[in-house]
Amino acid sequence: MLAVDVEKQLGALKLDVRFDAAPGVTALFGPSGAGKTSVVNMIAGLLTPDRGSIVIDDTVLFDAARGIDVPPHRRRIGYVFQDGRLFPHLSVRQNLDYGRRMSGRPRQAKEFEGVVALLDIGHLLDRRPRMLSGGERQRIAVGRALLMGPRLLLLDEPLASLDAAHKREILPYLVRLRDDGKIPMVYVSHTVAEVRRIATTVVRLNAGKVVAADGLDLLSDADIDGLD
């Protein structure tokens, strides 16, 4: 269980966000500029809130009042970025292995093969990131985040840079991951169709504030007209 309660002034935007994410997939949903990416950056530790706290299960990751701010490399939170951010100087296999190597965990062939099978990336292992399609790159990015053994997975518009065909290619993998049920996810999107497909809870952001938080029925048909 993830509990977020943060404030931060970002230029003209005053971010003031409070929500709890139950197990499953929590969608952070809202228009561009609502502050969704800033929220996940704060959960990951890449952005420091001005005030508030971030707690996951019983671990305090951030608490301004108590002066706690766990650095990103010790948060054990997987992050799939919108632009993939694979390391260009490493092969796909080395990219996938990076998190395990950095945390000094022993190699576990079973875990590795499980993720490779889940995401269908076995044939890509010896390639360089630059030789991958956009969809393949995002699958590797998901695999890389999974193989670090995260307690939470953040996905920041992982499909936004893909065309429709590649979106259809990758969504089933994410649904599979959700149905696996092992790792809670926070999924950032401004696309209703995606959120409908993947989310179990919806947190709706607008102009830096949570305007509603509930189940999928929160998404009205009006959203579909305005977005995507």
Q: Tell me the three state secondary structure of residue 59.
A: strand
The interface with another protein within residues 105-134 (CB under 8 A) comprises 128, 130-131
Residue 82 and residue 6: Cα distance in Å, rounded? 22
Does 208 bind another protein (CB under 8 A)? Our answer is no
Segment interacting with another protein, rule: CB under 8 A, options 40-48, 111-119, 156-164, 187-195: 40-48
Residue 166 and residue 64: Cα distance in Å, rounded? 41
Segment interacting with another protein, rule: CB under 8 A, options 10-18, 74-82, 168-176, 195-203: 74-82
For residue 13, list its beta bridge partners. Answer: 10
Does 71 bind another protein (CB under 8 A)? Our answer is yes
Name the residue with tokens 């890449």.
46
Does 145 bind another protein (CB under 8 A)? Our answer is yes
- Residue 162 C-beta: closest distance to another protein, Å: 18
Residue 151 and residue 68: Cα distance in Å, rounded? 19
Backbone phi and psi for residue 174, each to the nearest 5 degrees, phi listed first: -70, -35
Residue 123 and residue 120: Cα distance in Å, rounded? 8
Does 76 bind another protein (CB under 8 A)? Our answer is yes
- Residue 105 C-beta: closest distance to another protein, Å: 9
Does 184 bind another protein (CB under 8 A)? Our answer is no
Does 75 bind another protein (CB under 8 A)? Our answer is yes
Tell me the Ramachandran region of residue 199: left when phi exceeds 0, alpha when psi lies from -120 to 50, beta otherwise.
beta
The interface with another protein within residues 42-61 (CB under 8 A) comprises 44-46
Q: Which residues bind another protein (CB under 8 A)?
A: 44-46, 71-79, 81, 83, 85, 87-89, 98-99, 102-103, 128, 130-131, 144-145, 148
